[in-house]
Structure 1
Amino acid sequence: MSRQHQKSSPPGGSTRSLRVGELIRHAVAEILAQGGVHDPVLESHLVTVPEVRMSPDLKLATIYVMPLGGRDEKLVIDALEHHKRFLRGEIAHRVNLKFAPELRFRIDERFAEAERIDKLLRSPAVQKDLEPNSDQD
């Protein structure tokens, strides 16, 4: 009988999809930082690219972006969607893949979620629960 070894894939996908996602993240961030996309909205906003998630077949890239300060999110997403074809071509030139993935842009909600949790932890109800109880002797 042979033993089957199961490789545990890292959280978020296979090692290859994580590596390709990181390459695409760097490429998109570089394109945006260099002003490679000629769009008034994108030129007037500093856009960060904290994460890119790849589909298992590497044919779809979900690119999470956040405009600095979190303002005009809808305008930034619309501008990126408008220039999706150009960005896909640029990614194809910069990242050596068999197929350039389809691009999908989403706002990164992690910052808002972290702020919400921080606000909850600072609320008076939680602070009251964290105070040492003085009548326990």
Structure 2
Amino acid sequence: MRKNSIKNTRINGEVQRELGRIISREIKDPRISSLTSVVAVEVAPDLKSCKAYISVLGDEAAQKATLEGLNSAMGFIRKELAHSVNLRNTPAITFIMDQSIEYGVNMSKMISEVNKDLKEEDEDEELS
């Protein structure tokens, strides 16, 4: 059982790397944002299906357009994946929008604003 999970982890990493390469370099669809990254991949143990979590930096319209572009390029993506990753079956890919990077960026902005406000308050207290 343990060996299977190690193998599955290796496959997930390989598929994630290749999907990232295919999306950023091979697909020419203008709907797909250049700021698209593959955050995580979960390939089922039977290799028949795969969930690809993607992140798109941009507004909701850019995210929706990227998802549409990826779904329309599905046949091409699977063909490229079959060539580059040597698996018994090429999994059917489901793209899922992942908001974690955008969430992190927003949290960083909020923390920076709070720190700036605190620094300004400290400077005001020193002056009075």
AA aligned to 2:67 is I
Return structure 1 stretches of 4+ with deviation > 2 angstroms.
Answer: 68-71, 109-119
Picking from 35, 41, 49, the partner of 1:60 is 49
Q: Is the 8 A contact 1:17 1:58 kept in 2?
A: no
Q: CA RMSD in A?
A: 2.7
Moved more, 60-69 or 87-96: 60-69
Higher helix share: 2
**TM-score under structure 1 length normalisation:** 0.67
Q: Read off the aligned partner of 1:63 and give its amino acid letter.
A: A
Q: Which residue of structure 2 aligns with residue 51 of structure 1? A: 40
Considering Cα pairs closer than 8 Å and 6+ residues apart, tell me whether 1 or 2 has the greater RCO. Answer: 2
- Give the TM-score of the pair, scaled to structure 2: 0.72
Work out the number of aligned pairs and report it: 111
- For structure 2, the residue ranges without an aligned partner over 5 or more in a row are 115-128
| 74, 88, 91: which one aligns with 2:81 | 91
Q: CA separation of 1:33/1:112 partners in 2, compared to 1, >3 Å: closer, same or farther?
A: closer
State the distance in 1 between where 2:104 and 2:80 align: 33
Q: Residue 10 of structure 2: which of 5, 16, 19 is its match?
A: 19
Q: 1:110 to 1:46 in 2, by over 3 A?
A: closer
